[in-house]
Amino acid sequence: MNSKIWLSSPHMGGTELKYIQNAFDTNWIAPLGPNVNQFEKEIENYLGIENCAVLISGTSSIHMALILLNVNRGDEVICQSFTFSATANPIVYQKATPVFVDSEPETWNMDPELLEEAIIDRIAKGKKPKAIIVVHLYGMPAKMKDIMNVGMKYEIPIIEDAAEALGSKYIGKNCGTFGIMGILSFNGNKIITTSGGGALVSNDKNLIKKARFLSTQAREDAPHYQHSEIGYNYRMSNILAGIGLGQMEVLDLRVSQRRENNRFYRDLLSNYKQIRFHTETVNSRSNYWLTSFILEKSTNLSLTTEQIRKGLDYNNIECRPLWKPMHLQPIFNTAPAYLNGFSEYAFTHGLCLPSGSNLTEIEKDRIAACLLNILD
């Protein structure tokens, strides 16, 4: 049996252990320390944003953003439906209601027109949404200009879920830096990883200051433990921040490697006109975290994406269907949703291909042979 080819696996740069060793040598084995401070600085510099707090996950970072925007029981939060459940779950942690909005076919992200329709309808029904969560799916920048305009028009703050989009740019600006707050994830499958981790970023100093306070148990400045607010234990450890520092050294390299994978698949499958790749617009540059495609409706290919997935799986090559939209998930089936059918079509006709930055030429040859064999 051939060895397993993963969809997206961790890819260390080589210097991570040096930072961890340093943490051990200085006994900074805690959720604070020099690696944490330096990791935050490097993220700020890379993104071109004023403030960053590194936390235990992307999910906790979204949760923190909602807490900072005062989202509470009974509130409504607009959320992109076509995403991973971690985008929407924190809305429910706050006992608020998610309102799902479908995607447009170009970037696969929140449709700005449908977003405005949803806002108008929610206001007509008596409640103005408290926040909007937009996602840059698979690293592809959303139409941020239009989405920001809608947010400004109705004065609703925007949280950018850039968990999959570190290194992606829109009109020359980094994803995660458009909204009032942005979040990143350093989970094991993301473009860089700390094994598990996340970050909350913002140009608003007070928001990040408050995030640091709340994520360390809301402990006030007193020799005894004084609390007037509910706190969380959400801060990233100094050990994991050390992995992050090593990974930051290779981030740009990882982006170019993922973009190269994307080029490889486009060249390989260029004869199959029914395969429509997830493609950047003139305004955007994607990190191509996962190369993915949709089979067009007018297909004369009799195959389904599930047959392609199974064929690859049989050869020990991991592929995955596109995210199942949140409005189709049993857990969210009573939530309001504003739909155009796109995400449901994409889910049932789409596939993510192995996209790790550590794919070898031999592995790519194996994938190519297998894919062409299935398609012919």
Ligand X SMILES: *Cc1c(COP(=O)(O)O)cnc(C)c1O
Q: Are 34 and 245 in contact (CB under 8 A)?
A: no
For position 166 contacting ligand X by CB under 6 A, the verdict is no
Task: Give the distance from CA 23 to its chain's centroid.
Answer: 29
Q: Which of 10, 31, 33, 58 binds ligand X (CB under 6 A)?
A: 58
For position 138 contacting ligand X by CB under 6 A, the verdict is no
Q: Which of 64, 135, 241, 326 binds ligand X (CB under 6 A)?
A: 135
> β-pairing, 131-135 with 158-161?
parallel
Q: Are 287 and 259 in contact (CB under 8 A)?
A: yes
Closest residue to ligand X in the complex (CB): 58
Stretch binding ligand X (CB under 6 A), from 96-104, 159-167, 309-317, 367-375: 159-167
> β-pairing, 131-135 with 76-80?
parallel
Site for ligand X in 308-337 (CB under 6 A): none
For position 161 contacting ligand X by CB under 6 A, the verdict is yes
- The alpha-helical segments, DSSP class H, found in 138-250 are 144-153, 205-214, 238-248
Q: In what order do the strands lie in the sheet with 275-277?
A: 275-277, 292-295, 350-352, 320-321
For position 87 contacting ligand X by CB under 6 A, the verdict is yes
Count the residues of the shown chain that bind ligand X, applying the rule CB under 6 A.
14
Site for ligand X in 173-232 (CB under 6 A): 185, 187, 198
**Over the range 332-347, which residues count as b (16 or more CB within 10 Å of their CB) and which as e?**
beebbbbbbebbbebb
Q: How far is the CB of 168 from ligand X (least distance, A)?
A: 12
Stretch binding ligand X (CB under 6 A), from 51-59, 139-147, 265-273, 278-286: 51-59
- Checking phi first, is residue 133 left (phi over 0); if not, alpha (psi -120 to 50) or beta? beta
Q: How far is the CB of 200 from ligand X (least distance, A)?
A: 12
Structure-token pair, residue 327: 């409005």
For position 107 contacting ligand X by CB under 6 A, the verdict is no
Stretch binding ligand X (CB under 6 A), from 20-28, 54-62, 251-259, 366-374: 54-62
Taking alpha carbons only, the member of 20, 30, 122, 45 closest to residue 76 is 122
For position 286 contacting ligand X by CB under 6 A, the verdict is no
Binding site for ligand X (CB under 6 A): 57-59, 83-84, 86-87, 135, 161, 163-164, 185, 187, 198
